[in-house]
Every structure is written in C-alpha cells, then in structure tokens.
Chains A and B, each alone.
Chain A
C-alpha cells in the first residue's frame, strides 16, 4: 500500500541543519513536514554514551562505520530524531573568522562573513541556552587545564549547548528538546522512522520524495511526499548518498572532510569523573591540532586500552583512575561518499596525506606531554604495539610507531561532501545551498561547509542553515 502526502516544504533529516530549517520555515508560515530515518527517542530515556544509546540513537549502532583507506578511519553518526545533536558532547564553537574569510574568498560565497554568521549564531545561542559549566570543572576536564598551564600552553573551557537550572550536570539542549518541539507546536509535522529512498525529479524541479515508513505497529509502508520545496539535511554522509541515488551527481560526494583523531588512555594516581565529556580544549596548536577529552565510561576505557595491543588487564582493574583523551587534526586529505546501487549504505573512503600522519604523530606526542605534565602515570596510545609511556623522554618512541598500518583513528566530525560556492565547478550548491541545476532543491547541513572547521561543527552548521533559510524566505 502506498500513502501519499503533500506539503509545502519537505525537510529530510532532523539534525542540526534540519531542525533549524524546520523551525525557521514553519515560523514564517510555511507548511513543513520533516522526515527522519531514525526513531523518536525521549532524550532522557538512555544514559549518554551507553550501549543503549549506541543501539537506539546511532546509525549502525555507532560501531560499524569506517571510511576506507590506509589507515581506515572509524566514524559515528546519530540516527534518531534530532540527529547527531542527540549523541554529541554539546560543545559549541562559532566558525573561526579566519576560515569564514578564507572560504568566502576561495569559494566565492556570497553574503558569507563572520558578522552575518554571528548574527544567526547569537539568535540560536539565546534559543538553546549556550553556557559554561557553573563552578569548578570536573577532574577529567581540569586535567587538560592543569597540563596546559604547566607547559605554558593555551587552553579554554568551551561553551556547551547545556541548560543549567540548579542541576550540576545540566541538560543538553538537543534538537529533540528544543527546536523540533517548537516546530511541532508551530504546526510542523515530524515523521520518524521514515527513510527517503529517492527524490522524484522532473526537469529542473524536484516533485517530492519516495520514502519507506515503519509504522508503530512494525509494518513498513511506502510513502510518497509531494513538496514545493525540498531541503536535504541528512548530514555529510547521507545527503550526498541520497542525491546520488536520485541521479544528482554533479560535485556531489567529493571533498569529504574529517577531523581524524588519535587517542590515549591515561592512568592517574587519583579517581576521575566518568559521566561526561571534558569541556576544556587545549588550543595552543589550533586550528590545525586540537587536544581534548572523550567519553570515558568503563567500556570506552577498555576499547582505548585495547587499541594499544598491550596487556591492559592490570590497568583496567583501576579503571576509575583512567580517562581517554584525544588529539584531532584538520586534515589536508579528503574523501568520497559513493552510493552503490543495491547497497543500503554508501561506500566511504578517505585518503590521509603523509602530512596528516605526521601531524597526528605530533599531536599524539603533544597530548602525551600534556597528560604527563598533568600528573598521569601511564599512557596507552591508540597505536597497535605502541609502547606504554611513563616518562616524557619515552614519548619519542611513538613518533616511529605512528605509521599508516599501526595507527588507529576515529572521527565524529564529518563535513564538506557537497560544499557551497558561486562557482558550479567547485561545489554542488550555490552560496545558499541550492543544488546546481534545480530550482527547488536545497542542501542545508554539514555537507555545505567548504572545509573542516577545526572545531565542533554544530554551531557553524546551525548558523549557515539559519542564513540559508533567511535567503530562501527573502526569495519566496
């Protein structure tokens, strides 16, 4: 059985870009329908970074995705109403002005300045309650600050998308808590567990989308949604894959960017906290190298220790004294997203340059220096066969160990697989996300960023999405 719906604006994906799009356009009086492939999960239903969260809120349960290459790079994406905003650490960082200027010049992006983006960012920050953690930082975060101070390096406590109302830990202001309920209250319709199989095209217009919806009774049905305007906001992997499946391929799925990250499990003499992600970042080497902290539940610590391939059973017995930290780089390399006919998931590849590998090795050693300066007694690197380090003079051993075949990398920031530009030969969309060759098809997510921003991209994604919506409203 096929059900047919009609809407003015169809938004595909409900993450940072899709939520801004839906909330902005419904407030302006448009009839908006949002389709989301994942389920609608109560934000309080599962513990952050737990197995239940991985199973319910991540694509492929958060454990099976990797960009193929040497080395492969593991990545994770949210797949639920609210997208990756439901599962990330909630760090908030506006796009660095230097990159905005550089991208504007290099990609000839119209009306793209820090002042413009900051205006939208300020509105979103007010809406979402972006703030610092009240009081002293938790021990796992203070480690970064302490190590940086001892070495004379810069570090900052990042803002986060958290609301603190007398609750020490605060409540992360995900899209499922904020913009999506606001959009629904204003009349938007959100359809969870509804995967778009392809867009329906005719000439230079998109007529709508063909979807597969899983109903609450478990029955799957085909759904066709006709729309006057379509915004694809599925993120840097799923958006290019959908466009390619729909026969739209010009500059789509090329130029993928990541922040490849390498980790260390650090043992300290005292117990640390494990319920949250450190909010401090060492910015001494920014924007090309950033040092920060990861989720450090016992299971994550076990995974990080196992990455060194040394016997870690003694260390794990005192897991309360261990936390996981990372060094992330802006990569010179790039990747591709390719929708393969007949396959559910796109093929993703990424080519790290020798310079990237060198930066990662340098990042690992800087991270080691910092953790030892902060009082760590043992460091387990995510290098296969990488020796455990206890003193600064031993860190140099990692330099030779960080080879393509022995480095274990991961990332959670995925951007730039379509890009925006006024030059159709350089990007898949114009300056405001309209797909080249189509009157009413737009992209409004992380795919649009011309390059990796060197920081958590959520703020940049949301600001650009709000700017693009304003331009759409001014045109329509």
Chain B
C-alpha cells in the first residue's frame, strides 16, 4: 500500500488502535492480490491525487484532517474514475471494519 493510500484508508475509517492496524493490513493484502490491471489504475490515481499531499508532507505541512475535504470533493467529482477510486477504498475499509467488529 502506498503512503497516500494509507492516508486515505485512515481517513475513511473510524477504527483506532489495533483495529485500525488490522483494517490497514486487510486493505493492504487485498490491494496486493487485486488483478494487476485494476491495481495499476489505483496506483496511478494514488500517485496523481496524492502528489500535493505528499509534497506537503515532505515539507512538514501536511495536515491529515485536510484529506477529509479532499475525499468529500472526490466523491462528488464529475470524473467517474476519481469517484470510483474513493468508492473502491471505502468498500474495503467498510467491509473490514464491520466484519472485524463481529457485530452481526
């Protein structure tokens, strides 16, 4: 999982502590096992969407909370692949969080 993907996963999730680490592990493992063509698309979008946050991080100006606003914008984006990027990662996070909660 790329640095930016981990930021998005953390921003989309509500789990903390060990549970958050478990969710990250699950998402990481699932991304690794994806068909290469799908994974390549997600990596490309991560690099594109994450370039500015990454620069901010390198200069010590990255605020994790600023990502919430970006994600909200991307979810409403008129560009379908950008919406689907958030949708794909959100699906992994939601599935892991609710399954790991064992509350069913």
* Chain A residues proximal to chain B, CB less than 8 Å: 50-51, 54-55, 60-61, 63-66, 68, 70-72, 274, 297-299, 302-303, 306-307, 309, 340, 343-348, 384-385, 405-406, 408
Which of B34, B35, B80, B104 is within 8 Å of A299, CB to CB? Answer: B104
Q: Which of B32-52 contact A (CB under 8 A)?
A: 33-39
Say yes or no: is B75 at the interface (Cβ < 8 Å to chain A).
yes
Say yes or no: is B62 at the interface (Cβ < 8 Å to chain A).
no
Query: Is A51 touching B100 in the complex (CB atoms < 8 A)?
Result: yes
Chain A residues with CB under 8 A of B33: 60-61, 64
Q: Residues 70-85 of chain B: 1 if any A CB is under 8 Å from the residue's CB, otherwise 0?
A: 0000011010100110
Could you tell me how many residues of chain B have their Cβ less than 8 Å away from some Cβ of chain A?
31
Query: Is B36 touching A298 in the complex (CB atoms < 8 A)?
Result: no
Task: Write 19 A-B pairs (CB below 8 A) sorted by A numbering.
Answer: A51-B100, A54-B95, A60-B33, A63-B95, A64-B30, A64-B38, A64-B39, A297-B104, A298-B98, A298-B103, A299-B99, A302-B98, A303-B91, A306-B90, A307-B87, A309-B75, A343-B35, A344-B35, A405-B80
Chain A residues with CB under 8 A of B75: 309
Chain B residues with CB under 8 A of A299: 94-95, 97-99, 104
Which of B37, B78, B84 is within 8 Å of A343, CB to CB? Answer: B37
Query: Is B37 touching A345 in the complex (CB atoms < 8 A)?
Result: yes
Query: Is A61 touching B30 in the complex (CB atoms < 8 A)?
Result: yes
Query: Is A63 touching B30 in the complex (CB atoms < 8 A)?
Result: yes
Which of B29, B90, B96, B104 is within 8 Å of A298, CB to CB? Answer: B104
Which of A66, A274, A309, A385 is within 8 Å of B38, CB to CB? Answer: A66
Which of B29, B80, B97 is within 8 Å of A70, CB to CB? Answer: B80
Chain B residues with CB under 8 A of A65: 34-35, 38
Chain A residues with CB under 8 A of B103: 298
Say yes or no: is B92 at the interface (Cβ < 8 Å to chain A).
yes
Say yes or no: is B4 at the interface (Cβ < 8 Å to chain A).
no
Nearest chain A CB to B70's CB is how many angstroms away?
A: 16
Query: Is A60 touching B30 in the complex (CB atoms < 8 A)?
Result: yes
Nearest chain B CB to A403's CB is how many angstroms away?
A: 10
Chain A residues with CB under 8 A of B84: 72
Chain B residues with CB under 8 A of A340: 36-37
Nearest chain B CB to A387's CB is how many angstroms away?
A: 14
Nearest chain A CB to B81's CB is how many angstroms away?
A: 9
Q: A63-B91, A405-B80 are in contact. Are A51 and B99 (CB under 8 A)?
A: yes
Knowing that A299-B99, A302-B94 touch, tell me 18 more A-B residue pairs with CB under 8 angstroms: A51-B100, A60-B30, A60-B33, A61-B30, A66-B38, A70-B80, A297-B98, A297-B99, A298-B104, A299-B98, A306-B90, A306-B91, A306-B94, A307-B87, A340-B36, A405-B78, A406-B80, A408-B87
Which of B26, B35, B37 is within 8 Å of A51, CB to CB? Answer: B26
A297 and B99 alpha carbons, distance in the complex (Å): 9
A405 and B82 alpha carbons, distance in the complex (Å): 11
Query: Is B35 touching A64 in the complex (CB atoms < 8 A)?
Result: yes
A70 and B94 alpha carbons, distance in the complex (Å): 24
Which of A68, A71, A298, A385 is within 8 Å of B37, CB to CB? Answer: A68
Say yes or no: is B31 at the interface (Cβ < 8 Å to chain A).
yes
A303 and B93 alpha carbons, distance in the complex (Å): 10
Query: Is A274 touching B37 in the complex (CB atoms < 8 A)?
Result: no
A120 and B46 alpha carbons, distance in the complex (Å): 51
Query: Is A345 touching B94 in the complex (CB atoms < 8 A)?
Result: no
Nearest chain A residue, comparing its CB with the CB of B14? A313
Nearest chain A CB to B75's CB is how many angstroms away?
A: 6
A299 and B100 alpha carbons, distance in the complex (Å): 9
